[in-house]
Amino acid sequence: MVQNKTRATDASVDAYLAARAKGQQADDSRALIALFERITGQPAKMWGPSIVGHGSYRYTYDSGRSGDMPLAGFAIRGRELVVYLDCEHAAGTLLPKLGKHRMGKSCLYFRQLSDLDITVLERLVTESVAHVQRTRG
């Protein structure tokens, strides 16, 4: 059976940030880590080679394939930061208030935290974590 690439590792979060984040992006990454630690109560841990995650939950697809994912996480993707959320249930009311971003199915892309309303981001992450824990935990 093929093993999932996205799984918790013992790699260093600090080494990842040192290699990928410069200037404002490094400051924003540290702010996201603090925010996610406060919300999840869990320390930052590397998931795969490029996701900084906090906590975990188990998922199972209809096909029977299963795995673990972080409750809250982010990655550095070039000039953007990507926050992974399960927020479709809250997207209609909160995303319009968030600020300058773009949204994929479960990926929130932005250039810097100062482009966002941090209070709205915190609420999105909090609701995402609660939703995942309620529906999958």
Cα–Cα–Cα angle for 52, 93, 106, rounded to 5 degrees = 30
Torsion of CA 105, 43, 8, 85, to 10 degrees: 0
Question: Could you tell me the fold of the domain covering 13-136?
Answer: Aspartate Aminotransferase, domain 1 (3.90.1150)
Model confidence pLDDT, tens digit, residues 15-40:
999 999 999 999 999 999 999 999 99
Interatomic CA distance for residues 116 and 110, integer angstroms: 8
Q: What is the pLDDT of residue 3?
A: 63
Whole-Å CA distances, 91 to 94, 95, 102, 121: 5, 5, 12, 11
Domain ranges of the chain: 13-136
Q: What is the pLDDT of residue 93?
A: 84
C-alpha closest to that of 11 among 19, 23, 3: 19
Per the document, the length of the chain is 137
Interatomic CA distance for residues 116 and 97, integer angstroms: 9
The low-confidence residues of the chain, meaning pLDDT below 70, are 1-4, 89-91, 137
Q: What is the pLDDT of residue 92?
A: 75
